[in-house]
Amino acid sequence: METVKTIYLGDLRTKATHMQSGNELITDAPKDNHGKGEAFSPTDLLATSLGCCMLSVIGIAANAHNFNIVGAEVKTTKIMIANPRKVGELIVDLYFPPNNYSEKEKKIIDNAVKTCPVTLSLHPDVKQTISIHYL
């Protein structure tokens, strides 16, 4: 079974359906690339995927090692480059709520960040600038 079905709706807009759950999302081309910018662009979803993947993998590791990351946030900045137009850099800032994380837990978090599937799937030419902040 396919993972996602995407339909082109016109005016540089698509509707993607996650086949297992039926959840849908809309994409628009960004304003700086002939679109309306009224929804996530495909490259916004790339940036989103990276942050969501990191938090998910950290969550798996936290559960396995009995510590809590509830309330953790990720803020991702996408930097586009030209010729060819593509994502040149993803700046990821991870924020963890006050929890007195031990050095072991911080190492687990750091390893999870480096080994999430999206991180490992990105082309090496896409610079990933990652900062972890413990509040």
pLDDT at 53: 98
The three-state (H, E, C) secondary structure of 54-72, written as one string: HHHHHHHHHHHCCCCCCCC
Percent of the chain with pLDDT over 70: 100
Helix (H, G, I), strand (E, B) or coil at 20: coil
Q: Residue 1: is its pLDDT beyond 90?
A: no
31 DSSP β-pair partners: none
Closest-CA residue to 25 (of 43, 41, 47): 41
> If residue 42 lies in a helix (H) or strand (E), which one and from where to where?
helix 42-64
| Cα 62 to the center of its chain, rounded Å | 19
H-type helices in 65-129, by residue range? 103-115, 117-121
Reading the block at residue 57, the tokens are: 């993998």
DSSP state of 31: G
Q: What is the pLDDT of residues 10-54, one digit of tens each?
A: 999 999 999 999 999 999 999 999 999 999 999 999 999 999 999
In this prediction the pTM is: 0.94
Helix (H, G, I), strand (E, B) or coil at 50: helix
Averaged pLDDT of the chain: 97
Q: Decide if 13 contacts 6 (C-beta within 8 A).
A: no
Q: What is the pLDDT of residues 45-96, one digit of tens each?
A: 999 999 999 999 999 999 999 999 999 999 999 999 999 999 999 999 999 9
Domains of the chain: 4-33 (no CATH), 42-134 (3.30.300.20)
